Chain A
Amino acid sequence: MTHLRRELRRLKQYHEMADTGEIVRRYFAMNSFDGILTILGVLVGSYLAEVRDPRVVITTGMTTSVSMAVSGLWGAYLTESAERQRSMDELENHTLSDLSDTHLARASRVAVVTVAVVDGMAPLLASLLVLLPFFFSSHFQDARNPYYIALAIAMLALFALGAFLGRISKQNLVVAGMRMIVAGVISLILGYLLEGAIHR
C-alpha cells in the first residue's frame, strides 16, 4: 500500500474513532446559519441607514465575516480541545494507563483541528456568499439592487441549509428548508422594527 493511501486510511480511521462526523455536521450547520443571519443583519442595517456605496457594505461585511471566522475557529479549538481532554482523562481513569501517545489521542487532535477549521470557514463562506452581489455592483444601475439580490441569496442559502438538515434527519426537505427561511424573515422584520424605534 502506498504511503499516501495508508495516510488516508489512517485519517478515515481517526475520523471514525473520534466521531467527528456528527460534530462537524452540527458545527457546520449552526455556524453557516450564524454567518448568514449575521451578514443579513449587517445588510439590513446598511440598507436602512441608506448606505449606497458598495465599498462600504463590502468593508463592513468582510470585517464582520472575518471576525466570525476567527471567533468560530478559536472558540471551537478551545472548546473541543477541553472537551476531548476531559474525555481522555476519564478514559485514562478506566484503563489506568497514559493514553497520550495512542491512535485515539492522535484521532482526538485531528478532530479538534477539523472541527475548528469547519467552525471558522462555515460562517466566513456563508457570509461571503451573501455579500457576492456587492462585488459586482458596477453591473447594477440601482444601488439598491445588490441588496435585493443578496437577500435572495441569503434566503436560498437558508433554504438549502434547512434542506441539508432535513436530509440528515430524514424529514420533509421543503418543510425543513422553509423553517430556516422563517428565521431569516424574523431577522428582517426585527431589523425594520429596530430602525423604526431608533428613528423615533
Chain B
Amino acid sequence: MGKILRLVLDVLKPHDPSIIALASELSDINGVDNVNISIYEMDRRVENAKITVEGNNVDYDQVLQVISDNGGTVHSIDEVVAGCEIIDDPETLQHRGN
C-alpha cells in the first residue's frame, strides 16, 4: 500500500493539553518527521487547530489516537499527500482569481 507523506487535519481541542504537548507527542510517532500546529480560532473552552503532519510513512490511526488522547476531535481531513514525494495541488483555471 502507498505511503502517506502529509496529512492536514482540522481539529477541535480543549485548551489543555496545549498544542506544544500535542505537537511533541505527534512527532514522537514512528513514521512522523515533522508537525505543524496552528490555531485559527479560539473561544473560552476550546480551540480550532490546523494540524499538518509530515513524514516518510504517516500512520493515520496512530495520529488519530494521539489527537484523541489529548482530547481533540478531527473535524475534517483537509489535505493528504501520498506516494514518493510531496506534491502540492496545482492552480487551475477555475481557481485563478479574476
Q: Do A and B bind each other?
A: yes
List chain A positions with a Cβ less than 8 A from chain B. 13, 16-17, 90-91, 94-97, 99, 101-104, 107
- Chain B residues contacting A94 (CB-CB under 8 Å) are 14, 43, 45-46
A-B contact count (CB 8 A): 44
List chain B positions with a Cβ less than 8 A from chain A. 12-14, 16-17, 21, 43, 45-46, 68-73
- Contacting pair A103 B70 (CB below 8 A): yes
Contact of A95 among B14, B17, B69 (CB under 8 A): B14
- Contacting pair B16 A95 (CB below 8 A): no
- Contacting pair B71 A104 (CB below 8 A): yes
Q: A13-B17, A94-B45, A95-B46 are in contact. Are A101 and B73 (CB under 8 A)?
A: no
Q: A91-B45, A94-B45 are in contact. Are A99 and B17 (CB under 8 A)?
A: no
4 other contacts beyond A94-B14, A95-B45, A96-B73, with CB at 8 A cut-off?
A91-B46, A95-B14, A95-B72, A97-B73
- Contacting pair B70 A102 (CB below 8 A): yes
Q: A13-B17, A17-B17, A94-B14 are in contact. Are A102 and B45 (CB under 8 A)?
A: no
